[in-house]
A and B are shown apart, each in its own frame.
Chain A
Amino acid sequence: MAKIELLGIEKTFKDETVIRNLNLTIRDGSFTVLVGPSGCGKSTTLRMIAGLEKQTAGEIRIGGTCVNDVPPGKRNVAMVFQNYALYPTMTVRGNIEFGLKNRGMPGKERQSLVHDISEIVGLAPYLDKKPQQLSGGQRQRVALARAMVKQPQVFILDEPLSNLDAKLRNQMRTELIQLHKRLGTTFVYVTHDQVEAMSMGDEIVVMDKGVIQQADIPSKLYHDPANLFTAQFIGTPAMNIIDIRDAYGLELENGEGVSYVGFRPEQALIGKSIEGFRLEGEIVTRESLGAENVYQIRSRCCTFFAKTYLEPLLTEASATVVVPYEQLYFFGPNGERRRGVRALAKRLATAGGV
């Protein structure tokens, strides 16, 4: 178990700076997920922790010791790759014990360790098979077993579930969470899928263009985003954002410097007569997902999403939507969150009436 500290990390590929002054502390024993759109530098960060990529500047500490000049094999980290990277010419057993052999672990000890691990991940009957003979889920387990058997201080997982089908992915997600609970080791997990991040991580680091946008627990990330990027990245559908100039009839207190107002689709209450920011518009699309319905509504100011739970699908052509004032989020011109701004419950605030 170990804490990971990234201090002033920079990474440049040729003339392109991928990561700029990154500072991050990954708590000992946490399940930290790095999430962001592709090209945001999350995988590069992960690879630098593993030692597969050398940072241009800055310091990486694992368990308090600087590992800048420690080769990947000696950092006491284990990695699970997106495409598993199993050794194709070795059997499952060979794959799992390769690292132990290189460490010079005696045969008997190795045998019992491999045996224990393969029992845990359910691979015992397949130990003498080659990776090509296994299914995707089984290969994933071999990759996990190969990482686990080394009993590392840190587990590094680079989009390990993206090659699996949806059902298997859900199953492996649960298994990984349980595995983390059982081992109590620090997990660093990279994904571009925010749902995966939210469901697995106990700490989520949202990245964009090589800069950390927000590092927080999932619920805070969702309910208290630090900026426009996080607000729009987390949640499906994303938070609705309206330019403040289009939000007709919205009166603000301390409203200087506010450029955007946002609200979550599920906070847009349809046909409720309560006080709040009102939007009227034509329902463009209706998606019924069973328990929830998602509507795309086009009003005069913008097109936005609204979500309802456990309610019958609306058939009307248009709808009036109210967002309670306390559920509005305000952002500055550069996307930074503006706290302390209050919408005033004044007169009838109507925006975009048809």
Chain B
Amino acid sequence: MNQANRTIGAGGAEAVIGRQTAVRASWRRIGWRRALRLCLRAANVLALLALVLVFAMPFFWMLSTSLKTLPETMIFPPEWIPSRPVWENFSTAWNTGPFLKYFVNSVVVAVGILILQMLTIVPAAYAFARYRFAGAKLLFSIVMVTLMIPAQLIFLPVYLELSALKLLNTHLGLILPFASSAFGIFLLRQAFMQVPEELLEAARLDQASEWKIIVRLMVPLAKPVLVTFTLFSFIAHWNDYFWPLVMTTNETARTLPLGIAKIREVEGVATWNVLMAGNLILVAPILVVFFFSQRHIIRAFVYNGVK
């Protein structure tokens, strides 16, 4: 009896020890996992920070340089925050040329292009997405092919054409070559294709014209995509250096990027501080536009369903 008890007791103790080891082991396992997860998260955050640094650094450097004196820009290692910000750099940059004119030209050209593109890509995308007609596939392929032709290949014929039409040095000459966009047609066609057919049928039963279907139904549904495209187009043409350089020979239609490039030429020395101030003037409108539309851009890429 006694012995039996002892045996049981010994067995119980063993069981307790066994349980403790098991608990310790499982703790160890959980600890390991937690540590691993923490490490992964830290690595993730670090990687993201590095990425932010890669993208934000140049901007910060630009801002910092734009507020320095010329000698300060030469110091190595660079001084990140200038001891006394030089705001005059901005007025100097602005006064190196007819900047107001450049600015207005840039706005007219970028907005003009955008309006024309909207007028052409929306109906084109709707037709490619919704109508079945002879040659639809061929036409769409041709549109896609234009995406692959570099500007450097066609600028000469376009130049000759515009010159024959007496459109060099005019806003129209800078706008017309970009009156439509293959990228925009493609992007919007994909968005339009996702709209369920019943919706269009319901609208047709409601006596809506095709034009009304586009304006009241399709465009609002494709808003995120349209905003994204607007931004891409606006940035591309706002920053465009090549076409205005080729298509203008005097100041009448020259845009901001050409004006900024001219700052460098002043006095034969690179006045980095003034140049960076000019660059800030150039990118400021884009930053503002991006700030207000980023929500839509993210949605255009993440949320693609129309339910």
Q: Which residues of A contact B (CB under 8 A)?
A: 50-52, 71-74, 77-79, 81-83, 85-90, 98-99, 102-103, 132, 146, 150
Contact = CB atoms under 8 A, between A and B. Distances in A.
B220 interface: yes
Given A73-B206, A99-B206, A102-B207, A85 B217 contact: no
B212 A102 contact: yes
Interface stretch (B10-18, B94-102, B195-203): B195-203
Given A89-B217, A132-B307, A102 B201 contact: no
B204 A88 contact: no
B235 interface: no
A81 B212 contact: no
Contact of A52 (B199, B204, B212, B223): B204
Interface residues of B, number: 20
A79 B205 contact: yes
B204 A98 contact: no
B221 interface: yes
B227 interface: no
B201 A88 contact: no
B224 to A, nearest CB: 12
A79 B208 contact: no
A221 B26 CA distance: 69
B306 interface: yes
Contacts of A88: 221, 306-307
A73 B202 contact: no
Contacts of A78: 205
Q: Specify which of A52, A83, A150 lies most central, judged by the most chain B CB atoms within 10 Å of its CB.
A: A52
B221 A83 contact: no
Q: Which 9 A-B pairs have the closest CB atoms?
A: A73-B207, A99-B206, A85-B198, A89-B220, A102-B207, A85-B202, A81-B198, A72-B205, A72-B204
Contacts of A99: 205-207
A72 B208 contact: no
A141 to B, nearest CB: 15
Contacts of A85: 196, 198-199, 201-202
Given A88-B306, A132-B307, A74 B198 contact: no
Nearest to B199: A85
Contacts of A98: 203, 206, 208, 216
Contacts of B216: 87, 90, 98
B205 A83 contact: no
A224 B234 CA distance: 72
A72 B307 contact: no
B199 A87 contact: yes
Given A52-B204, A98-B208, 15 more contacts: A52-B201, A52-B205, A73-B205, A73-B208, A74-B207, A85-B196, A85-B198, A85-B199, A85-B201, A86-B202, A87-B216, A89-B217, A89-B220, A89-B223, A150-B206
A236 B201 CA distance: 35
Contacts of A77: 205
Contacts of A51: 205
Q: Specify which of B201, B206, B212, B216 lies most central, judged by the most chain A CB atoms within 10 Å of its CB.
A: B206
A77 B306 CA distance: 26
A78 B201 CA distance: 11
Contacts of B208: 73, 98, 102
A108 B209 CA distance: 23
Contacts of A102: 206-209, 212
A275 B74 CA distance: 115
Q: Specify which of A83, A86, A89, A146 lies most central, judged by the most chain B CB atoms within 10 Å of its CB.
A: A89
A87 B202 CA distance: 9
A152 to B, nearest CB: 9
A187 to B, nearest CB: 16
Contacts of A82: 198
Contacts of A89: 217, 220-221, 223
B227 to A, nearest CB: 14
A89 B217 CA distance: 7
Nearest to B223: A89
Nearest to B209: A102
